[in-house]
Amino acid sequence: MNYVPLPRAVVPIVAVATVVLLAWVGWESILFPEAFWAPGDLSQYHASVARCVHCHEPFQGPSSVKCQACHYKEDFAARSEPTVRDHHLRVIDQRKTCVACHTEHRGMLAEITTGVLPVSKTPSEVDE
């Protein structure tokens, strides 16, 4: 069987269309990265985050180190309720990942905390 190739004009047209598409995606990604790449809108809690790299490490996903740029130990110590403070200080010390309990990009009104805080022991329970 002889293979009959496509008409000669098709390949250049498709190549130009692909380049235009890639250029458009590249340009709009700079202006509206969330609309082009995110699986959902950021929640109200992170509405002020301007750029993806504020939270995402390239090819590593959401980085706990980047979370701590805003949610650091002193901030938890100063502003959080005791249960929340103790839990997060422990998580930071143990270098656990934030995304195990917190999930973003589920929409403006979504709650980002999906995990459950462990019940804190009272001082008498700790002594026992």
- Is the CB of 53 or the CB of 77 nearer to another protein? 53
Smallest distance from another protein to CB 69, Å: 18
DSSP conformation class of 96: -
Smallest distance from another protein to CB 86, Å: 24
Phi, psi of 89 (to 5 degrees): -65, -40
Smallest distance from another protein to CB 27, Å: 12
Distance CA 72, CA 92 (A): 8
- Is the CB of 41 or the CB of 86 nearer to another protein? 41
Q: Which residues bind another protein (CB under 8 A)?
A: 1-4, 6-7, 10, 13-14, 17-18, 21-22, 25, 28, 35-41, 52, 56-62, 97, 99-100, 103, 105-106, 114
C-alpha distances in Å from residue 14, one per residue of 11, 22, 27, 56, 91? 5, 12, 20, 34, 52
Residue with tokens 């839990």: 87
